[in-house]
Chain A
Amino acid sequence: DAKTTQPPSMDCAEGRAANLPCNHSTISGNEYVYWYRQIHSQGPQYIIHGLKNNETNEMASLIITEDRKSSTLILPHATLRDTAVYYCIPSPPNQAGTALIFGKGTTLSVSS
């Protein structure tokens, strides 16, 4: 399974864009990149995922480099409720039956 590197913590002012980087230089060609976040004392929440194209949904945008060795999650207008631990996780190489393996993630602190 691919390993990831994320900064342990980041700060962001409310209303500004939060750009969270992730390095996954050993990702396999068929692995998706998933992003989840975990607000204190809750289960992880799905944010977005992608294979090689940039993706956008109502929560965030995902920018994946052409070589797929890194990606950036963008929260366009961070709010206080976006304070959480963000995890970048390459998906398992199998299609089913293999769990997501969490790294340490990035603790994002949004302040007013």
Chain B
Amino acid sequence: GAVVSQHPSWVICKSGTSVKIECRSLDFQATTMFWYRQFPKQSLMLMATSNEGSKATYEQGVEKDKFLINHASLTLSTLTVTSAHPEDSSFYICSALGPGGNSDGYTFGSGTRLTVV
């Protein structure tokens, strides 16, 4: 089945630095990928929709200048958390729609645990 690889699986960074998270579709092309954030004991919250070759669409309340999304190819989307602060510490997850569209389901990465100290 469709596989989405997310890297790194965890990262610790200092306040004020930037962190890049990669999301790759390994065996299919994904024109659209999605980024979620999950705080402890809460559900996944959609942050943005990443579109290959165009600007990402951000959900209300998500700062586009802080969470930079780049989807430069059909198999790679990146999320960069800029000037990270402790409140950005969270579990970040990406997903992509499988090659069969709605009938295929969505595939999720394994997530990235970000800790800002």
Contacts and interface: CB of A to CB of B under 8 A. Distances in A.
B110 A101 contact: no
Contacts of B51: 97
Task: Give the size category of A's interface with B.
Answer: 20 to 34
Contact of A104 (B32, B43, B110): B43
B110 to A, nearest CB: 5
Interface stretch (B66-74, B78-86, B94-102): B94-102
B56 to A, nearest CB: 12
Interface stretch (A18-26, A42-50, A62-70, A72-80): A42-50
24 contacts: A41-B113, A42-B110, A43-B4, A43-B95, A43-B109, A43-B110, A43-B111, A44-B95, A45-B108, A46-B105, A95-B102, A96-B31, A96-B32, A96-B101, A96-B102, A97-B31, A98-B49, A99-B34, A99-B46, A99-B106, A100-B106, A103-B43, A104-B43, A105-B43
